[in-house]
Amino acid sequence: MLSTKAILKNRRLETLVENQTTYTLNSAALHIFETHQEAEQILLRFREPVLASMLEGKKVMHLHEMTPFDFLPGESLILPADEIMCIDFPEAQMDKPTRCLAMAISEEKIKETIHFLNETRAKMDDEWRFTDYNFHFTNDMAIQHIIQRLMFLFAENHPSKDVFADFMLRELIIRILQAETKKIYTEKALQLSNTHRLAFIIDYIRKNLHKNLTIKELSDKTYMSESNFHRVFKNELNVSPIEFINNERIKLATSLLQNPNKKIKEVYVECGFNSLSYFIRIFKRQKQLSPKAYQTQVNNKLPLA
């Protein structure tokens, strides 16, 4: 896999602020920007929808109707066509530049992918679409890997790279749509629970984590078969119902463990785990620490691993 520096090896450094290296394919263009000195209120706009992703350093983003926010490595942002970005570079230096990529994706490719999803993997109570074109998120492992693969492909001299890119861009768009859907349902579950069955189920799960939740119980509440419920849940949230329940239980457990007087046995029961060993295994998988070690570090104000 090519590193960012390898991709930029033959570029010309023409300006110290947002020096641009560009690669183009049929359905997308990749722009990599480098800034080598502190700067403020730099304006940038693209004619196509854009996935911006931070590679190195820090930006402060000022977008329409949004509170300014830090934009850091491992994070991405979806922007509509013609959106004006106002950017500050508070830490850029000659020997420590800020690097960011902007992948402009054709409207046609996005519409084609959304149509494909609605035809083949329809949502339960809605249609697939970008509801927020200023969607700021942390890349999961899959999205990060696709971005890295696309960077390599854009710079590669291969006669079939447009064909390869079409598949990767479709996967990238689908995964971002799933990430946005998951964020909407998980952050607005209570507000949407009367109109969206998955939002209702998420709200129900959170209110009943202490119970023995089963797929049959949850699927019955959505008037679906167990297999169809499992398929639709994973299709829309990119996580299985059991994984989602365990994630929510671990979130609750980390909150309960802030109390130094809480016993581990009390925590696992309150979180709905029916086995102490299973609770410890799931907790360690997510936090890379045992519940007891986590509780000790949190309450002694030690940095978490």
pLDDT in tens, 167-198: 999 999 999 999 999 888 888 888 888 889 99
86: which 2 tokens? Answer: 């106002």
- Per the CB < 8 A criterion, the answer to whether 181 and 122 are in contact is no
Residue 245, SS3 per DSSP: helix
- Greatest Cα pair distance in the chain: 64
**Residue 90 corresponds to which tokens in the numbers above?**
């508070």
| Helix (H) or strand (E) run with residue 69 in it | strand 69-71
* Predicted local distance difference test score (pLDDT) of residue 3: 55
pTM of the complete model: 0.81
Q: What band does 65 get if pLDDT is binned at 50, 70 and 90?
A: confident
Alpha-carbon Rg for the chain in angstroms: 22
DSSP symbols for 182-233 = HHHHHHSHHHHTTT-HHHHHHHHHHHTTTS---HHHHHHHTT--HHHHHHHH
Q: Name the least confident of 6-10, 11-15, 39-43, 265-269.
A: 6-10
Count of residues in the chain? 305
Q: What six digits make up the tokens of 115?
A: 């149509």
Residue owning tokens 């929510």: 248
Q: Which helix (H) or strand (E) holds 257?
A: none
**pLDDT level of residue 6 (50, 70, 90 thresholds):** low
Domains identified in the chain and CATH numbers: 4-184 (2.60.120.280), 188-305 (1.10.10.60)
pLDDT at residue 221 above 60?
yes
Q: Residue 34 pLDDT more than 60?
A: yes
What confidence category does residue 203 fall into, taking pLDDT thresholds of 50, 70 and 90? Answer: very high
In the chain the first and final C-alpha atoms are separated, in Å, by: 28
pLDDT at 1: 44
